[in-house]
Structure 1
Amino acid sequence: MNSPLSSDLLGPGVATPGVSHRPLSAEPDPAAAMTVFWDQGLPVGQSLTGSDGVTRRSPPPARRAPPRLPPAPPPVSVVICTRDRPEELRRCLASLPAQTLRPLEVIVVDNASAGDATRTAAQDAGVVYVREDRPGLDYARNTGAATARGEIVAYTDDDVLLHQNWLQNLVAAFDAPEVGAVTGLVLPAELATPAQLHFETYWSFARGYEPKDYTPEAFKAERRAFPAWDIGAGASMAFRRQVFATAGLFDERLDVGRAGCSGDSEFWHRLLAHGYVCRYEPSSVAFHYHRASDEGLARQLFSYMRGHSAALLVQFERTGRPGDLRRAFLSLPVRYGRRALRRSQPRDRFLDLEIRGYLSGLGFYLTGSRRT
């Protein structure tokens, strides 16, 4: 049994130091920080030796078949939002022709890049190019949704490589009309630096190897803040086109360029409130290049917490659920207070920036970013 990954899949000449992909029957690779195990083309578990030196193993789930496409799958638009990262964009676009499900169109949304390199990369790949001059990821996402012609709109990022079955398995998971959103498994493309290993240890995009449905019933029953952030990652997500008409577009106060992040999780939260199921489907695999430097990671974690705290208040504004307020003004301050008193764990290396980001998000919302 062989791993389905190859240098051809990951892109010509792309190395993946620190990550090993092995068949289920093999042992973890002692030379790699992370070993991902595969069984008949499906990722089924992992072994990760984190930045704290602790090895964490995920036991393989019961064997299952990947979701199956209907005989006539719905047309799909793939949207990639990007800004001033033409080489990363080229690398991502190079992984799309191998997809086992051919999209109706690939749309590159250029979010106010400074020069023409992004346009050139898109044109060289023969994809649709759209310019969005308002800086902010959710402006770009909404422009992509407005441009898309497919019944399913799938999003990925420019710093991602896509497994050949990524789109097929993402779309096949829309097997019932109540499923409004599907996310996929996002694995690290490399763990070559301490910053990348720290992120994968404590902030990983991966949500496990078992599929999971997040239902409106569970959403209504949860008295705390519903953990919409656990549903997946914006680097691999798809939506029925109709949900944008029903629930609205991404909240443009959130994400890169505005409040930091969490435009994706706020939208999943909103879909649950509108009665849709959000599904996590780990057979749809993407590989993300985490920030390689401490400086880049620090900016990212600040943005994550700034976006998260702002999103909690946006969610309360939209749904009136008190659990979001409790998390914003009680649970998170208590948690950060305890961590600040201890400061003995490796994960606390960026604690001050996390706290500053959390406070910045509250300030962003409370000083004029409420919806009018």
Structure 2
Amino acid sequence: MNVLEIQISVALVTRNRPESLNRCLKSLRSQSVQPFEVIVSDDSDLEYATATEAIAKQWDCQYIKGPKRGLYANRNHAAQACKGTHVRTMDDDHEFPEDHFQILEAVVKADPLSIWILGESHYDQIDSTTGIAYLPGEIQPRGFSQLPRNLDDTCAISDGATIYPRAIFSSHHYLELFKFGNLYLEFGARLKALGYRIRYCPKTYIIHHYIHDKRSFNDQKMQQQTAFLAALLTYGCYLPNFFKYVECLSYFSLIGLISTLKIKDYHFNIFDLWRLWIVGRKYQELFNKQNYAQII
């Protein structure tokens, strides 16, 4: 790919937060280098949609209506609308430090075939030295994410702050089985298994206006289910590891049994385990047959 052809499209997803979107786009449009295009895919309810569309157009963005099937369906929808060489995922509660897109353009030009991931800081906790407080993590057997050992060749994904070669989305998509949760961690493991290099960019970051009570997603059961599915597929299929696969099944079987017996509620029961194990087997079959476009 000719370095002069790099065009970074922003695939920004939003839902019911026009004020947050306005802050995000104001920060974006203050950048010294602008992206090739900004797609705003809106999953808002009717009462917020008109204001959201007006804000997107005020900041010279392309507004499209989202599919209203959840975060990952909206990410896929936004990415499919992009026309640049690369897709930069984005959320409406982000802001950006100085020269953010200038730095991104430079790293993508240096290695346009890799997937680039970013760290973040919360708006009230910005590190005075680097600005970066949180790095993207890799899925672990028990469903949580952990700092990668090798940030220059990892399976970590920054859900709303990753730059992909756009061609990836012609065959590969985020899983849409759940509306929210940890499925972005599955996407990173799948892409790494397919030979894509995922690299961390330490030179810039995003500023996240994280407010727990204003999240679109606070479903603990869905969080556990997506964590199990992501870990199951990672260590049972994409990056097979017998010991980590056994750890995954053992841990989720244990908390599933404890929840089913009502000893303690881990928001995950034996029936969830069985159902998602069957789903995982179906995805594994599609992956092994190289039917990648059907893994969605």
Which residue type is aligned with residue 365 of structure 1? L
Distance 2:106 2:188 in 1: 19
Q: Per the alignment, do residues 304 and 234 of structure 1 end up closer, same or farther by CA in structure 2, a change over 3 Å counting?
A: same
| Deviation of the 1:77 alpha carbon | 0.5
The residue that corresponds to 2:52 in the other structure is: 118
Higher strand share: 1
Residue number in structure 2 paired with 1:365: 276
Structure 1 residue 165 displacement after superposition: 2.5
Once the two structures are TM-superposed, the CA of residue 135 in structure 1 deviates from its matched residue by 2.0
SS of structure 2 residue aligned to 1:87: helix
> When you count helix as a share of all residues, which structure comes out higher?
2
Q: How much has 1:134 moved relative to structure 2?
A: 3.1
| 1:242–1:360 CA distance, 2 compared to 1 (3 A) | farther
Q: Which residue of 1 aligns with 2:41?
A: 109
Secondary structure of residue in 1 paired with 2:28: coil
Query: SS at 1:299's partner residue?
Result: coil
Which position in structure 2 is the counterpart of 1:270? 190
Unaligned runs of 5+ in 2: 126-131, 138-146, 284-293
Match of 2:249 among 306, 329, 333: 329
Query: How far, CA to CA, are the matches of 1:117 and 1:151 in structure 2?
Result: 30
Residue 241 of structure 1 corresponds to which residue in structure 2? 166
Secondary structure, aligned partner of 2:248: helix
Shift of the alpha carbon at 1:72? 2.9
Contact 1:308 1:361 in 2 (8 A): no
Structure 2 letter corresponding to 1:104: F
Per-residue deviation, 1:76: 1.0
Shift of 1:104: 1.1
* Contact kept? 1:184, 1:284, Cα under 8 Å: yes
Structure 1 unaligned segments of length 5 or more: list them: 1-69, 192-199, 216-227, 341-351
**Cα distance in 2 for residues equivalent to 1:328 and 1:365:** 13
The alignment's TM-score, normalised by the length of structure 1, stands at 0.59
Q: What is the correspondence of 1:187-266 to structure 2 with a 5 Å cutoff?
A: 187-190=121-124, 204=134, 212-214=151-153, 228=155, 231-245=156-170, 247-254=171-178, 257=179, 260-266=180-186
After superposition, where does 1:1-372 map in structure 2 within 5 Å? 72=4, 74-115=6-47, 116-174=50-108, 175-176=110-111, 178-179=113-114, 181-190=115-124, 204=134, 212-214=151-153, 228=155, 231-245=156-170, 247-254=171-178, 257=179, 260-293=180-213, 299=218, 303-315=222-234, 319=238, 321-323=240-242, 325-331=245-251, 355-356=266-267, 362=273, 365-366=276-277, 370-371=282-283
The residue type equivalent to 2:231 in the other structure is L
Larger radius of gyration: 1
Q: Is the 8 A contact 1:170 1:183 kept in 2?
A: no
* Number of residue pairs aligned between Structure 1 and Structure 2: 256
TM-score, normalising length: structure 2: 0.72
Contact kept? 2:15, 2:43, Cα under 8 Å: yes
Cα 1:177–1:93 change in 2 (3 A) is closer
